[in-house]
Structures are given as structure tokens and as C-alpha cells.
Structure 1
């Protein structure tokens, strides 16, 4: 894959962000955009254990998609205190996905605010994501095609992004938001997935306190180099076509996929995976 390092800035004005990154829909890492947040000095795994150790948290791993799994249904659960201990004990595949800060731990709301990047942020949807060493997400894009600001805390995290224009090279699974789940985007097998050699994207390594801006509908793969966690703030897509696609994904595509899983079972999952390969290989030969 041809991966360009995502540009980095120290801090940036609202005007420069809108002109240089939002309008052209290009990613950027902002290294000191939220240095004023109390979270920068407080948020680490020990602090999360202190304020939320009693909470039962949903856990996800990298197992293949199964027709019996509900949409975003967790694979396991445990107390946050036990999960933090697990993260510190060594590599683990278990991650926390879409954990709502406002709902679960209101105390954490005092540690951050909603920065003015020139976009209206969704104030009811600040989500936390946790992962252990070597855990990762499948390559995917978000269902609402939002503009995403991803704030990282503790340790290091690898982020690989692709713009929507590269979908043709990524083995997208139809009626879903992911690429073929067998692809290892940290070390892809180009003989098995030849279209990836043509894919042009971006890469960054996030560290504590840094913010990654991901434009509307960008594909993203996240791998935790060390245990850590991140928070995402979101803004509705400003492109009317992306807004419409987001509504389609939420109200039509997801419902159709759930129905087909119930009707055809695992054969539906296998059909979609085979179509992902078939369609991408067809484009590759054109």
C-alpha cells in the first residue's frame, strides 16, 4: 500500500483548519490542540480505573463476523478495574468500543470541553475506545459518515486511513461498513489481496494528547501499539450526499443486513465476503 504520513501541526487556528483540511477533506494530526484540557494531565488507565473501576464494560475482539452476532453486540463483559488489569498484564485482543462518557461516567465530563474547530460537534456522543497491545479494529468507515476528531490518551496507536475514493481497492464487503475481515492492514498479503498494491492512503502514529481529524466517510484501521484509549467527538457530514448516505446506512442498509442474517444465516456472511473479492478483482482487471 502507498501510505503517506498524515501532516502534523502543533496548534492551529479555526480558520486554517477549515481552509487547509476540512474544505479539501484531508486528515491532519494536531499535537497540542487541547493542551488546556484537564484530561491531558489526568487521563491514564489508572485514573480510569479509579473513577470507573466499578462499571461493567462491553468487550470486543477480532473474531470473524458471525450471523448470530447482533449489530455492535459485545463478545464479553467485565468490570473496568479487571479490564485495566488485563490491559497491563500483556497483549490482549479485547477492546472497548463506543463507550458513552456522558452516560457512563459523568465525572469525566469535567476533564474536557468541546473545542472550536469551526464545526458543530455532537455534544451527546463523546465515545471512548480502549485497546490492549496488538489489538485492532477491522478497516471500516463510520455509519453516519461524520467528521471525526479522535483524541488519544496513554501509549501509542497506529492509524491507517483511506479516502472514500479508494474503496474500489479495499475489498469492501457489500451491505456493510467493513473491508474483508481476513486482511491484515499492518502487513498485507499482496498475493492474496493484489488490489491493495494500488491503494493510496495515509498513516499516523498517535501519542498521548494528540488529535487526529478524519474527514467524512474515511476508512480507518486502528491498532494499539501499547495499551491505551481514545475519545472521539463527531460532527454531521456537511456534504449533502454524504448526509443522505449516512441516513441510508442507518435506516435502510443496517436493517436489510440484519434481516438477511436472520433469513440466510452464515451463508449471507459468506456470500458478502465472496462478493467483496469478486467485485474488487473485477475492477482490478479493467
Structure 2
């Protein structure tokens, strides 16, 4: 089995605001903080049964791992289900269905009192705490976030493996142009280096998040999430600190996603196929890889 070149993300039990700003936020270095949530109600209450109890009647959008299609909109859901039924599904068997970018402030207000906004020297966006759910062996394709925010990613109920890459590794990841993703047919758990030779040069990081642990992902970091058990996470975020990344975020939000949707409507599947071909052509050309 072929393996990516990954270093373990540093782990600490706790960290002061000063140490976090100096050693991670300013230099943009990832870290796992294990005990940041111990004084949250969520640390003791949040599990799948509790979510079923407080949000079971909510209809939730579901996503799976099917390739992007030309006739689907930007981040368009693939199915819907009552949260209670979804939790039962997660607990009964592996499933590819995931919940993605679920805004708990508006959808399940009772959960607002269960978590806190950590004081780590970041101006967290109070209106955008997003939740993510996944079943055993479900995977979130390699991507970076459209808004280039700094992300505090907290995991609950079970275990999740996170593979991340700094923005300067984009040239090795077969980035699909006019999008936020790498080639979706790359298995980042065991990549085929004969088919994707540029990946051999990529330098990234890995961690496994357990209940209550937090991963800090700096702005623009690529991330691939692999749910090892059923579980869910919440992300808190702050605006990009670097002006260059703020500009990229505004471009993505104000132009790129609309242009991509326009080209999907105009060119259909040919546009998707073209972008996937260009991901390989541009990557290999930039790195001088033949074939």
C-alpha cells in the first residue's frame, strides 16, 4: 500500500492564548488541542443519541461521494432525511451519506448553549458555526474552504482521521481549476503513485481526532476527512488574516463559483471533463512530469 508523506500534527492537552497566537496562528501552523472542550456542556452531552433527541424532527440535507455532475449546483445536496432516521442509519451500518455545512444556530438553537467560542486570539465569526456528520468509512474529498478562513474543528462521538496540506502544496494535489477540490478519483488513504505521480512530492500532515478534540487548520489548508466511526464535528472560523487570502476568498465568493455554475449550464458534462483533464495536464506540466 502506497503512503503519502505525512507528519503527525503536534498535539497538546491545553494551550494559552499567547502560545496559540505565537506558535500557530501567526506562523499558520496546525495543532490539535485535546482538552479545550472539557468545560463545554457539549463535551458531556454531545453524542448521536442526544442529537437525535433534540433535532430528530429536522429534515437535513445529505451528501455522498458521487463525482461532481454538471447539472448540480454549487454544494447542492444529493438527498434529504429526517435527522432521527439519519442517526439510526449511522448507527446501523456504514453509509456514504454525510451532512455538510449544517448551521446549528438557525436550525437547532437549543445546541447554542452547549459550546463556547474559545479565546485563542481569533475573531471568530459568531453566526457561522457549522456541523458535519459522517458514517463509518465515509470520506470528504480533498478540498479547501471557499472563504480561506482559519478553522477550529471540534470532533464528537467517535474518531475521524484528518489529512491536511498547506496551500503551498497545491501544485502537487491535482487541483481542479475553477473549483475548490482535487481530483475526486484520488484515494488519499492509499494513492496510486503511478497514476498520480505528483503526490509523491506532497508534504502534508495527519491526525486522528477523538471525542472533544480540536484541530486548528490555518487559512487555505487543504483537508481530507475520513470518518473511522460514526460521528460529527463543529467548525468555528475567523476571517483570513492575510490580505492575499482575503482577496482569494472574495474572488471565490464573488466570481469563481458563479462562473463555474455558468459553464456547467453552458457546456454540460464537457466542462466537468475538461476541468478534470486540466487538473492532470497543468499539474504534470508545472512539475515537468511526462506521460
TM-score of the two chains, using structure 1 as the length reference? 0.99
1:276 corresponds to: 279
Query: 2: CA distance between counterparts of 1:68 and 1:155?
Result: 35
Question: Which residue of structure 1 aligns with residue 185 of structure 2?
Answer: 182
- Residue equivalent to 1:243: 246
Deviation at 1:259, TM superposition (A): 0.6
User: Which ranges in structure 2 are unaligned for 5 or more consecutive residues?
Assistant: none
Determine the C-alpha separation between the residues in 2 that align with 1:11 and 1:134. Answer: 29
Separation of aligned partners in 2, 1:267 and 1:186: 29
How far is the alpha carbon of 1:284 from its aligned partner? Answer: 2.4
Please name the residue that 1:17 is paired with.
20
CA distance in 2, matches of 1:70, 1:180: 18
Question: Does 2:253 align with 1:285?
Answer: no
Structure 1 residues not aligned, in runs of 5+: none
**TM-score under structure 2 length normalisation:** 0.97
1:139 counterpart SS class: strand
The answer for the alignment partner of 2:226 in structure 1 is 223
1:123 is matched with 126
RMSD (CA atoms): 0.6
1: distance between equivalents of 2:174 and 2:75?
Answer: 21
Query: Quick one: distance in 1 between partners of 2:287 and 2:92?
Result: 44
1:71 is aligned to 74
Runs of 4+ in 1 over 3 A off after TM superposition: none
Distance in 1 (alpha carbons) for counterparts of 2:41 and 2:144? 30
Aligned to 1:168: 171
Counterpart of 1:42 (choices 37, 41, 45) is 45
Task: Name 1:207's counterpart in structure 2.
Answer: 210
Q: Is it true that 1:136 corresponds to 2:136 in the alignment? A: no
1:103 is paired with a residue whose SS is: helix
Q: Distance in 2 between matches of 1:20 and 1:106?
A: 34
Count residues with an aligned counterpart. 286
Q: CA offset at residue 33 of structure 1?
A: 1.1
